[in-house]
Amino acid sequence: MAVIDNESPDQGSESFLIESGLYTDEDVYQLELERIFGRSWLFVAHESMVPKEGDYITTFMAEDPVIVSRGNDGHIRVLLNKCLHRGNKVCLFDRGNAQRFRCSYHGWTYNNQGGLGSVPLLKDSYMGDLDIGEMSLPAPRVANYKGLIFACWDKDVISLEDYLGEDFRWYLDTFLLDADPLGLQVLPGRHRYMMPVNWKLLAENFGGDQYHFASTHSSVIAISQRPEAGRIVHSEHSGEHYSAEFTSEKHPPHGLLQLAVGEQFYQEDMNMANGLGAEAASWVTNRHDRLQERLGDLKTRPYSFHTANVFPNLSMVGLATALYGRSLIVWQPRGPMRTEVWQWCFVERSAPDSVKERMAFTLTQRQAAAGMVAPDDHENFERTSDNLRGWEARTVPFHYGMGKNSGSTSVLPELPGRVLPQISESYQRSFYRHWRKQMRQNV
């Protein structure tokens, strides 16, 4: 397949022109389902979505429908939501609590650990010629990283810890997963919405494209000084900001944006928290104290990062301030030019109610299905996809050349990973380089 095998025109090892076929071609897409989504750790749930035995949610691993079920033994499993008999769904709700999943077609029934528990007419019509004790719903490998549940269909995949990589895990731990002593709490009402564009353009945007913010979201910048905006703004353009990239031969590339360094960001959070009352202010203070402990004696004092992408299709947003909902987004691929977006809002469990409400409010108003940010991204991508219908337009590659000659050393070597200027296209280049490599592996 040309787009996988060929290096792009005028590429050295540092490719920066990407052919449009990556975003339009059905054959490429089908191969991605096998080689990218079939072989990567995919985010499926957070522990707090299935707190009790019998709790489940249904979701997708790319196009494959799965149930994330906490069985009666307390273990979380991921089960293909497809009856072993003739392929019907066995679980029909978005979430709930169930002892068993009963297929409506002929009535095969599975327990909440995936095992086939009963089959109608097993004695009378199968005459004992079906060993249901051996049969269970297909289940991928599952791993739990500090509450984030990932699954992978590839039995030989590296461990989830190695997949995330030590450097990126430091940021995940420091700013998201170890931030609250009681952990994260998912809120009801996850968003699901369609975006008419290839999933890769969304994933690499969250991991590496700070460049677009000033143009695409200029309406948000334009209103940010208004008094009505006081509840939802944070400094994106003032203060010290970086991006960071985690690229290695050992794991796929991950990237993050708006790495904020310095005390100013804490002061801004304090100002907002003061507006919510003494309880909120003292929570933000304690949170900051805990962060100082985690940072230890680092001379560089980062406060937060805001967005990230975990290869391939898990993105994050909302981490910039203590008062913004922590959001996980999965870009579920739905064909070469369609993506179904799944987005959850989390709050830090120890926060007072006033802070939790503000967190959810801020996310809702900004990067969410009906917020003031996402519709503008949507529109750009829709027009981009429209253009890719053109025969001639498809021959013009996408340009990812920013910063390609600016070297690969970290600008803050004291911190893990490769810290880069805030605006760069380095992550995208790494993303596509890795994507091509993984697409070529035909074992």
Partner 1 sequence: MCDLGKLTHLHGAITRFYAKETALLDDGDLKSWLKLFADDIRYTMPMRESVQGEDAVDLIDREGLQFYLFNDDKESLELRVERLYTGLAPGETPPSVTQRLVTDILLTDTSTDEVEVRSSFLVFQVRHDFHETIFAGRRMDRLRPMDDDFQIARRKILLAQSVLPRTVSIFF
User: What residues form DSSP beta bridges with 240?
Assistant: 261
- What's the distance, CA 401 to chain centroid? 25
Positions in 373-392 near partner 1 (CB under 8 A): 374-380, 382, 386
Phi, psi of 429 (to 5 degrees): -60, -40
Pairing of strands 307-310, 254-261: antiparallel
Nearer of residues 291 and 374 to partner 1, judged by Cβ: 374
Distance (Å, rounded) from C-alpha 66 to C-alpha 53? 18
Which one among 226, 249, 296, 443 touches partner 1, defined by CB under 8 A? Answer: 226
Which one among 75, 86, 389, 437 touches ligand FES, defined by CB under 6 A? Answer: 86
Q: Which value, to the nearest 10 degrees, does the dihedral of the CA atoms of residues 346, 244, 266, 166 take?
A: 70
Which one among 26, 34, 63, 94 touches partner 1, defined by CB under 8 A? Answer: 94
Positions in 65-84 near partner 1 (CB under 8 A): none
Nearer of residues 122 and 221 to ligand FES, judged by Cβ: 122
Phi, psi of 309 (to 5 degrees): -135, 130
Our finding on whether 108 is near ligand FES (CB under 6 A) is yes
Nearer of residues 1 and 223 to partner 1, judged by Cβ: 223
Our finding on whether 105 is near ligand FES (CB under 6 A) is yes
Size of residue set near ligand FES by CB under 6 A: 10
Our finding on whether 103 is near ligand FES (CB under 6 A) is yes
Q: Which of Fe ion, partner 1, ligand FES, none binds 380 (CB below 5-8 Å, type-dependent)?
A: partner 1
Which one among 180, 204, 245, 377 touches Fe ion, defined by CB under 5 A? Answer: 377
| Residue of 256, 245, 338 whose CA lies nearest to 24 | 338
Distance (Å, rounded) from C-alpha 2 to C-alpha 4? 5
| Residue of 325, 322, 330 whose CA lies nearest to 282 | 322
Our finding on whether 216 is near partner 1 (CB under 8 A) is yes
Distance (Å, rounded) from C-alpha 325 to C-alpha 234? 13
Our finding on whether 209 is near Fe ion (CB under 5 A) is no
Q: Which residues of 77-99 are buried (b: 16+ CB within 10 A; e: fewer)?
A: bbbbbbbbbeeeebbeeebeebe
Q: Which of Fe ion, partner 1, ligand FES, none binds 379 (CB below 5-8 Å, type-dependent)?
A: partner 1
Q: Which residues bind ligand FES (CB under 6 A)?
A: 83, 85-88, 103, 105-108
Q: Which residues bind partner 1 (CB under 8 A)?
A: 92-98, 187-196, 216, 218-220, 222-223, 226, 228-229, 231-232, 325, 340, 343-345, 347, 353, 356-357, 360-361, 363-365, 368-370, 372, 374-380, 382, 386
